[in-house]
Amino acid sequence: MTATKNILVIGGGVAGIQASLDLADKGINVYLVEREPSIGGIMALLDKTFPTNDCSICILAPKMNECFANPNIRILTNSELISLEGEAPDFRATIVKKARFVDEKKCTGCGDCTQKCPVKVPNKYNMNLDKRKAIYLPFPQSVPRIMTIDKERCLKFTKDKCGNCIKVCKAGAIDYEQNDEKIVLDVGAVIVASGFEIYNPSDMFEYGYGKYSNVKTAMEYERLICASGPTGGHLVVEPGGERPKRLGFIQCVGSRDLSRKNPYCSSVCCMHATKEAMLAKEHYDDIETYIFFLDLRAVGKNFQQYVDRAKKDYGIKYLRARPGRIMENEEKGTLTIWYDDLIDPHIQSIDVDMVVLCTALMPSSTAPKMGEILGIELDEYGFFCAKDPLANPVCSTKKGIFIAGYCAGPKDIPESVAEASGASARASEVIAQSGGGDVP
Ligand SMILES: Cc1cc2nc3c(=O)[nH]c(=O)nc-3n(C[C@H](O)[C@H](O)[C@H](O)COP(=O)(O)OP(=O)(O)OC[C@H]3O[C@@H](n4cnc5c(N)ncnc54)[C@H](O)[C@@H]3O)c2cc1C
Ligand code: SF4
Ligand code: SF4
């Protein structure tokens, strides 16, 4: 066997970033493969994090930059694994790196091209609440700080017109001829940290998402209240619109729900709703916030104290009920939430200016395909499953392949980080034992 000293990490969210940094610190070469043009995952888009209310990107950005600067880590963005051959510690991974149409070695991230680009399209990194250009940086703290051309929207590709970006780019970085690249890597072990997807509640007609503009998802709310988001952190229903004075948060939207095929608890929503209600209060003292919950799951360290503080110091009201319906009061422009209070059982209603739906967080829809490529098993919900969830939670069902973060089941940031460190420790054992001994 000619064992390699490289490890492949799939997914550049907080779990993949932590795993890469831990391995690089041990002197191991890491290929960090990320599907998007920037690493960061969901944490890069959050405003603050529970239970400390620290700024999310302030914690993550230094780690993202450390990954970029570390000579032992090679970040491959816009990239996906298409095949894995062999066995630990001698895997051969084939990656497809999609063309950016911008030379990564030349782009300085100056932004001149973006300014001159005439095309505006919905910005998925701000949950489509504002627009970005056809040549763009996903978000201000993106790593690497390199532009990407959206081929589907760029006039050069769709109509053979424009070419503004190539005219203004002083670095000569624009390359309309760039092709997708196939990269073959020899790796000793693989860590999968490909995260989750957010449930789209449009099919829950009772809540009016997509029908009423003041019904938002929690992820949209995170971007609205974030200083680097579409409204500069001003909580408004629409950019340039009115500020809500009463907010209703609804828990378990699509979670713990057999009819939506998500019978499990998404694990983080009770706490992120508490955080989001606190943030509203921190921004605007006169705002009223209501959280509709079934059971309040405050199971982590200091989580119960956090909820107690939300009630006592922030005046947040918790109502034990699953609302049955949201209806618009057209005259007042408000939303009426109808609910059956489980403590004082009778139908009641409350009027609010904005509703935030704390939607289910689900396994990635591409996880089955990835499971097939890697030869690892998924559980009944579609999360990657551990060989032994009690004694060996970071080892997948195949030797030399490890799982970390939300792709292995619902969990918050600290748990994702802990799992990533566990997975990196296990993966480094593969390399250490590659000269002989049992591979985990
Ligand atoms: C609204 C909301 C608020 C939250 N608030 C908090 C909070 O305050 N505190 C807290 O602790 N937790 C919070 N969470 C949970 C937190 O976001 C997750 O615990 C954390 O993001 C999990 O990290 P991850 O790296 O496993 O996944 P992700 O953040 O999803 O990262 C996965 C990465 O993998 C990439 N990827 C996916 N598929 C592939 C592929 N095939 N190939 C290559 N790359 C791929 C993705 O693009 C992404 O960059 C919140 C979640 C939501 C939705
Ligand atoms: S592509 Fe050119 S103009 Fe655009 S950010 Fe990069 S260096 Fe600047
Ligand atoms: S060529 Fe495309 S990306 Fe460049 S400025 Fe024109 S529309 Fe924008």
Find the ligand nearest to 116 CA.
Answer: 3
Nearest residue (CA) to ligand 1, atom 26: 405
Q: How far is the CA of 86 from the centre of ligand 1 (A)?
A: 29
Q: Are 424 and 191 in contact (CB under 8 A)?
A: yes
Band the pLDDT of 435: cuts 50, 70, 90: low
Fold designation for 6-97+180-195+364-432: FAD/NAD(P)-binding domain (3.50.50)
Is residue 235 classed exposed, middle or buried when 0-12, 13-18 and 19+ CB atoms within 10 A define those classes? Answer: middle
**What is the C-alpha to C-alpha distance for residues 307 and 299, in angstroms, rounded to an integer?**
11
The Cα–Cα gap between 303 and 28 comes to 36
List, by residue range, all CATH 3.50.50.60 domains of the chain: 6-97+180-195+364-432, 199-361
Six-digit token string for 120: 């505006």
The rounded distance, in Å, linking the Cα atoms of 89 and 26 is 17
Query: Considering the entire predicted model, what is its pTM?
Result: 0.96
Task: Identify the residue whose C-alpha is closest to ligand 1 atom 4.
Answer: 272
The model's pLDDT over 134-145, given as tens digits with 9 standing for 90+, comes to 999 999 999 999
Q: Which two tokens stand for residue 74?
A: 């090679």
Share above pLDDT 70 across residues of the chain, in percent, rounded to a whole number:
98
Predicted confidence band of residue 437 (pLDDT cuts 50, 70, 90) = low
Residue 228 gets which letter from DSSP?
Answer: T
Q: Is 289 helix (H, G, I), strand (E, B) or coil?
A: strand
DSSP annotation of 387: S
Give the distance (Å) from ligand 3 centre to CA of residue 12. Answer: 28
Are 293 and 266 in contact by the 8 Å Cβ rule? The answer is: no
Confidence of residue 1 (pLDDT cuts 50, 70, 90): very low
Closest ligand to Cα 121? 3
Question: Looking at the DSSP assignment, which residues form a beta bridge with residue 74?
Answer: 31
Distance 437 CA to ligand 1 centre (A): 35
- When computed from its CA atoms, the radius of gyration of the chain, rounded to whole angstroms, is 23
Class of 199-361 per CATH? alpha beta
Residue 430, ligand 2, Cβ within 6 A: no
